[in-house]
A and B are shown apart, each in its own frame.
Chain A
C-alpha cells in the first residue's frame, strides 16, 4: 500500500491527486519524467488528448496513474457504492497485449489499495466470464474495438456505459489508418453522448500526422483548446545491422522466403536473451520456424511461433513464455508488433523488407525495453534487391522522418454495420444519431442524401421497386430503428468487425486439442493423407468435417505450407524516395554502404543488360519471351502507385491501341505483358504519363480493371452482404453464402448507384493507388528523361516482377476480339 499515511489536506482535489501521483513515484524511488508530470496536469484538469510515447517509455502508467489519481481525489473514499460501475475503458488493438495490460492496470489499483477490478473483454474471453462481467461490472475493462462494438450491440448498454469517466485508446497509431479506427471513432461518438464529461486519451507512437491523429480521436465536436498533445520526447537509439551474404549469388533475384541466409541468422539468436524474429506473412513464419528447427534441432523447446491464426491457448502460452524469459526465440508476424513494456526482448530480427520506416522502428523498439537502452534490429534480406531497401532504411534512420497514417473517410460499410449494431441493442432515432455520426472525423461530410441511403439500405434493402417486399433487417417503428428478428440480430453480432478473412476452418487433432484456424481455400486443395505445416508442426489431413479439419501428427519431414492471403503492403512514398536516392548514389559512385557494396555484382549485370536509372531518369525495358511482349517500367514509387500507373498507361494507350494485358508490379516497377508488342514510343509521344486529366482517366481505368471488385470483398462482408464462416458456428448460413464477386456483379448490373460500389472505387483511388501520390509521381516523371532499352534477357531489376505470381488483368479490346485469339484451357 502506497497511500500516504497522512494525506495532506489540500485546498483542492487537484492537489490531492498530485499527492497520490507523487506517492506512486516516491514508493518506487523514481523521478517522474517531464512528460509524465505533464500527463498528470492534463488529466487532472479534465483535458483530453494524445500522449506520444514509444513502447518502452512507461506510457501505460503515464496514462493510467493520473487517471486513477484523479478518480481517487474526486471521490471521497469510504463512501459506500462510490466505486460501483464501469469507470474506465482501455481499448487496445491487439488481443495479445490485452492480458499484460490488464495485469499492469490491476497491479496499480492494488498498490493504491483501490478496490477496483480490471478485467479483460476480448473475443478470447470465455462467454461465462462475459456473462459474469455484465452481472457485476468491473471498474475498468480492457477491450478491443470489435468487442466494444459487441458491447454496443447489447441491450441496456447505455446504462452500463453511462458512468464512464475516461476512455484510453492504446496504440492509436495502429488503428487510425484502418476501418478499426473508424469503429473506434463511432464508438467514441456514442460514449461522449452518454457521458458528456468523458475524457479521451490516445496513446500513439510517433507518426507524421500526430496533430491530425488527435483531431480524429477527439472528433470534430471537440474544441481544439480543450485538447493537448504531450510528447515524451524519448529518442531511443537504434542500431540496425544488415545480414550480408558472403557472396551475392547466395541471394536469389526474386522470391520472399530468404531462407538462404539462415545459417547467418542462427548465431544471432545466441547473442541475447529472447529474440523476436519478425516475418511479413504467416506462411513465412511457418517456413522460417521449420527451417530454423531443421538447421538446429536443439532449438526445440526454446523456440516458438506466434501468429494470428494460431489457437488462443497456444498464443497465450507463447506470450507467457516471453514474459518468463524462458524462450530463446519467437518467430512471429505483426501479431507481436506491439507490445507492453514489460517483456524481456533483447534482440529483433526482421526477415524481408518492412515496407515502411515507421513499422521498422516500431519493431526495432520491441527490443531494449528499458528506458535508456538501445534497440537492436537485424535485417535479413530475402532477395538481392532488398539490400537496396536495407541501405534506404539506414538512411531513413539517419534522417529521423516518420510516415503519416492517413485516417479514412466516408466508410459506408462500417457505418451500415454500426447502424445495425445500435438497432440490435437499444435502437436509435435517426435525427438524434445523425449529429453524433457527423461529429466523427470519418463522417463529418456525410450528406443528408448519403444518410438517407444508409437508412434505406438497412430498412428496405436499397431502392424499392415494389410495394410488398419481405426484406426485414431493421424495422422502423414509432421513429425508432430496431432489429426485431432474433436470427438477424444473432447473425449480426457474430459478424461485427472490420477484419475480413476467408472462410476459416478449425484445425484440431483427432484425439482432441485445437491448433488454430486455417483458410478453407487452402484446405480445399488438399486430400486426406496430404501433409502440411501448421503451428510449427507437420500434420496429416485425416478429413474435413463441417467446419473442423481433423489432423494427426506426421513423421514426414516435408509438407505444404499454407499461403494466407494477407494484404500486400507497398513502400511508403518516403521509402520510395530514399530508394531512388540510393540508386543515384550508386550511379554517382557514392554507394559506399556495405549493403550497396554487396550489391555491386548485381548492379554490374544490370548495367550490362540495361542501365541503372538515376534521379533524372525513368527506365523502361522491353523484352520478348515465349510468354509474349513484356514492358517493364521502373518509377521506383512503391507497389500501389505502380498498380495505378499500369492501369492508367493501358487506358491511355487504348485510344490508339486496343489490347489485353496481364500486369504485375512490385515496389520498384511494373510490367505490362501482352500478346502483341506494346507501342511504347507512341505512348510516350501521346503523353501517357501526363499528370493532366489524371482523375478522369484513372477512374476509367479502375472501372476497366477488376480492382474495385476485389476491394468490394471486404466492403460486402463489413456491410453484412456476405458472411464469413466461423469455426464451430453458423453452419446454418451456408444457404446465404454468395461470393462477393457475384454480389458485385448483381449490384453493378442492377443497382449501380449503390454507395458501397462507389466506396469500392474510391478506396481503390484513395487507398490502393493513392491518387495524390500518383499525381506527384507523374509530375516528377514529366521532368525526367525516359530511356527505353530493349533487353535480350530479363535484367536483375525486371526479374522479380517477371516472377510475380499475383497479376492483375485489364483489357481494352472487345470480348469477342479476345475470344477469337484464345483457346480452351487444357
Chain B
C-alpha cells in the first residue's frame, strides 16, 4: 500500500485493522478501502425527500443537494477509482431528484459507481444503466470480502465453503452512550465485529437503529463533524 498512487486519508479519518486489511473510517460515514482505491457507502436513500414532496409533504429540497455536496467533498479528498454503494442508493421509484443525480453523475463520469442492491433499490435496470451505475446484484465478493446490503442476507452459492468477511448497511446502526449524571447520547456508528462490519447510513434524511456491541467489537461513533473510537474495553 505504499505505491505512488496512495493518497493519505484526510486528518479526520480513523484507521481500522479488520479482516487482515487496512481501512479508514471517515467522519462522513464513508469507509475508505485503500487496496481497492474504493469508497464504500451505505444507505444514501437518494430521492427520499423528493418522494415525500411528490406526495405533498413539503420537506426542504436542499436536504438532497447537501448530500451530493458531501459526496463531492469525499471524492475531492480521497480521489477514489470507484464508489461502491452497499444498498439503498435510491429510496423509491423514479422522481425528479434522480435527474439532479444524473447531472451530478455527468460531472463525475470517470468515476466507477457500483451498487450492491438493497431492498429500496427498486429502480428498473435501464434507469441505473442510464446513470452509469454498475449493478453488482445482491452480493458482491472481492477476495475475502463479501459486500451485501442486509447483514443477515442469505447467499446460497458458496461451493468451497470459504470464509468471508461481510460488509453491509441496511440497519442504520447507532449506539447509546451513557455518562455520569444520567447523561446519554444516541449517535450513528461504524461497527466492526469478528467477521461482519456495518456502515452507518450516509443519507441526510434517515433514522437510527440501536445496536449493542459485544466485547472485542470495534465501534466508531459519528457526531456529524468528528469520529470517535468507542471500542468497548476488556
Stretch in B30-38, B61-69, B73-81, B111-119 with 4+ CB within 8 Å of A: B61-69
> Interface size (A, Cβ < 8 Å)?
54
A144 CA to B65 CA, complexed, in Å: 44
For A470, list chain B residues within 8 Å (CB): 50, 53-54, 95-96
Q: Do residues A816 and B228 form an inter-chain contact, with CB atoms below 8 A? A: yes
From A471, A742, A749, A825, contact of B53 by CB (8 A): A471
- Selecting from B11-19, B154-162, B171-179, the interface stretch reads B171-179
Could you tell me if A627 and B182 are in contact, using CB atoms closer than 8 angstroms? Answer: yes
From the candidates A491, A662, A675, A819, name the one contacting B223 in the complex (CB within 8 A). Answer: A819
Interface residue A779 (Cβ < 8 Å from any Cβ of B): no
Query: For residue B58, which residues in chain A have a CB less than 8 angstroms away from its CB?
Result: 457-458, 461-462, 471, 473, 721
> Is B175's CB under 8 angstroms from A825's CB?
yes
Is there an interface contact between B205 and A824, defined as CB atoms closer than 8 Å? no
Q: Which of A735, A738, A747, A818 contacts B60 (CB 8 A)?
A: A747
Query: Is A300 in contact with chain B by the CB < 8 A criterion?
Result: no
The distance in angstroms between the C-alpha atoms of A807 and B53, with both chains bound, is 35
CB distance from B234 to the nearest CB of A (A): 11
Chain B residues with CB under 8 A of A675: 179-181, 183
Name the residue of chain B whose CB is nearest to the CB of A736. B55
Complex Cα–Cα for A660 and B61 (A): 34
Q: Would you call B184 an interface residue if the criterion is a C-beta within 8 Å of the partner chain's C-beta atoms?
A: yes
* Closest residue of A by beta carbon distance from B210: A825
Q: How far is the CA of A742 from the CA of B223 in the complex (A)?
A: 16
Tell me the complex Cα distance, A473–B228, Å: 43
Min CB gap A713→B, angstroms: 15
A400 to B99 Cα, complex, angstroms? 68
Query: Hey, which chain A residues are within 8 Å of B137, CB to CB?
Result: none
Q: Is A254 an interface residue (CB 8 A)?
A: no
Interface string of A785-826 (1 = CB under 8 A from B): 000000000000000000000010100000110110111111
| C-alpha gap A743/B59 in the complex (Å) | 8
CB distance from A106 to the nearest CB of B (A): 41
Contact with A along B183-199 (1 / 0, CB 8 A): 11100000000000000
- CB of A628 within 8 A of CB of B180, answer yes
* Closest chain A CB from B193 CB (angstroms): 14
Confirm or deny: B1 has a beta carbon within 8 angstroms of a beta carbon on chain A. Answer: no
B56 in contact with A471 (CB, 8 Å): yes
Q: Known: A471-B58, A473-B56, A485-B56. Contact between A822 and B179, CB under 8 A?
A: yes
A422 to chain B, nearest CB (A): 16
Using known A-B contacts A746-B59, A751-B60, A826-B232, determine if residue A819 contacts B96 with beta carbons closer than 8 Å.
no
Report if A739 contacts B (CB, 8 A): yes
Q: Are A720 and B56 in contact (CB under 8 A)?
A: yes
| Residues of B with C-beta under 8 A to A335 | none
Instruction: Please tell me if the beta carbons of B226 and A816 are within 8 angstroms of each other in the complex.
Output: yes
- A661, B184: Cα distance in complex, Å: 10
**Interface membership of A750, Cβ < 8 A:** yes
Query: How far in angstroms is the closest Cβ of chain A from B56?
Result: 4
B42-61: CB near A (< 8 Å → 1, else 0) gives 00000001111111111111
Interface: B132 (CB within 8 A): no
Closest residue of chain A to B231 (Cβ to Cβ) is A824
**Beyond A750-B62, A824-B175, is A736–B182 a contact (Cβ under 8 Å)?**
no
Interface residues of A in 313-369 (CB under 8 A from B): none
B226 surroundings in chain A (CB, below 8 A): 815-816
Chain B contacts for A236, CB-based, 8 A: none
Which of the listed residues B56, B59, B175, B182 has the most CB atoms from chain A within 10 Å of its own CB?
A: B56
A585–B182 CA distance with the chains assembled, in angstroms: 37
Q: Are B207 and A629 in contact (CB under 8 A)?
A: no
Contacting pair B182 A463 (CB below 8 A): no
Q: Does B92 contact A (CB under 8 A)?
A: yes
Give the distance in Å from the alpha carbon of A468 to the alpha carbon of B95 in the complex.
Answer: 11
Specify which chain B residues have a CB less than 8 angstroms from the CB of A750 in the assembled complex. 60, 62-63, 66
With the chains together, A526 CA to B162 CA distance in Å? 40
CB of B204 closer than 8 Å to a CB of A: yes
With both chains docked as a complex, state the minimum distance between the C-beta of B233 and any C-beta of chain A, in angstroms: 8
A783 to B57, CA, bound (A): 51
A472 lies within 8 A of chain B by Cβ: yes
Q: Mark A738-770, 1 if CB is under 8 A from B, else 0.
A: 110011001101110010000000000000000
Q: Is B213 an interface residue (CB 8 A)?
A: yes
CB distance from B90 to the nearest CB of A (A): 14
Q: Residues of A contacting B65 with CB < 8 Å?
A: 465
| Other-chain contact of B61, A466, A662, A754, A819 (Cβ < 8 Å) | A466
A466 and B103 alpha carbons, distance in the complex (Å): 13
Q: Specify which chain B residues have a CB less than 8 angstroms from the CB of A739 in the assembled complex.
A: 207
Contact code string A159-188 (vs B, CB < 8 Å = 1, else 0): 000000000000000000000000000000
Minimum C-beta distance from B61 to chain A (A) = 5
Kindly state whether residue A488 has any CB partner on chain B within 8 Å. Answer: yes
Give residues 658-701 of A contacting B (CB, 8 Å): 660-662, 673-676
Of the candidates B63, B181, B207, the one whose C-beta lies within 8 Å of that of A673 is B181
- A823 CA / B176 CA spacing, docked (Å): 9
In the complex with contacts A463-B60, A749-B66, A815-B185, A468-B96 CB distance below 8 A: yes
Task: Report chain B residues within 8 Å CB of A754.
Answer: 60
Q: Does B212 contact A (CB under 8 A)?
A: yes
Task: Tell yes or no: B230 within 8 A of A by CB.
Answer: yes
Interface centre among A473, A720, A819, A821 (most CB of B within 10 A): A819
Q: Is A246 an interface residue (CB 8 A)?
A: no
Is A431 at the interface (CB under 8 A from chain B)?
no
Residues of B within 8 A of A807 (CB): 182
**Is A464 part of the contact surface with B, judged by Cβ < 8 Å?**
yes
> A823 near B181 (CB under 8 angstroms)?
no
Query: Closest chain B residue to A416 by CB distance?
Result: B58
Q: Is the CB of B60 within 8 A of A720?
A: no
Residue A478 is within 8 A (CB to CB) of chain B in the complex: no
A665 to chain B, nearest CB (A): 14
Q: In the complex, which residues of chain B have a beta carbon less than 8 angstroms from the beta carbon of A471?
A: 53-54, 56, 58
Which of A458, A461, A468 is the most central at the interface, judged by chain B CB atoms within 10 Å of its CB?
A461
A821 to B179, CA, bound (A): 6
B40, CB-defined interface residue at 8 Å:
no
Bound together, the chains give a CA A815 to CA B226 distance in angstroms of 9
Chain A residue contacts of B99, Cβ below 8 A: 468
Q: A735-B92, A819-B230 are in contact. Are A746 and B205 (CB under 8 A)?
A: yes
B41 contacts chain A at the CB level, 8 A cutoff: no
B219 at the interface (CB under 8 A from A): yes
Say yes or no for A448: interface residue by CB 8 A criterion: no
Contact B57 A720 (CB under 8 A): yes
A487 and B54 CA atoms in complex are apart in Å by 11
Which has the most chain A C-beta neighbours within 10 Å: B55, B176, B226? Answer: B55
Taking the closest CB of chain A, its distance from the CB of B93, in whole angstroms, is: 10
Q: Which of chain B's residues has its CB closest to A473's CB? A: B56
Residues of A within 8 A of B63 (CB): 746, 749-750
A524 to chain B, nearest CB (A): 14
Beta-carbon contact of A738 and B205 below 8 Å? yes
**B56 pairs with A809, CB closer than 8 A:** no
A673, B61: Cα distance in complex, Å:
40
Cβ of A588 < 8 Å from any Cβ of B? no
- Chain B residues with Cβ below 8 Å from A809 are 183-184
**A469 on the B face (CB < 8 A):** yes
Taking the nearest CB of chain A, how far is it from the CB of B60, in angstroms? 4
* Chain B positions within 8 Å of A468 at CB level: 96, 99
Instruction: Tell me if B221 counts as interface (CB < 8 A to partner A).
Output: yes
CB distance from B81 to the nearest CB of A (A): 31
Contact yes or no, B96 A469, CB < 8 A: yes
Given A469-B96, A473-B56, A750-B66: 6 more A-B contacts, CB < 8 Å: A457-B58, A462-B58, A485-B56, A660-B179, A738-B52, A819-B230
Residues of B within 8 A of A (CB): 49-63, 65-66, 92, 95-96, 99-100, 175-185, 204-207, 212-213, 219, 221, 223, 226, 228, 230, 232
7 tightest A-B contacts by CB? A675-B180, A461-B58, A628-B181, A473-B56, A822-B179, A751-B60, A675-B181
Ordered by A's residue number, 12 sampled pairs between the chains whose C-beta atoms are within 8 Å are A461-B57, A465-B61, A470-B54, A749-B204, A815-B223, A816-B228, A819-B177, A819-B185, A819-B230, A822-B183, A825-B176, A826-B232
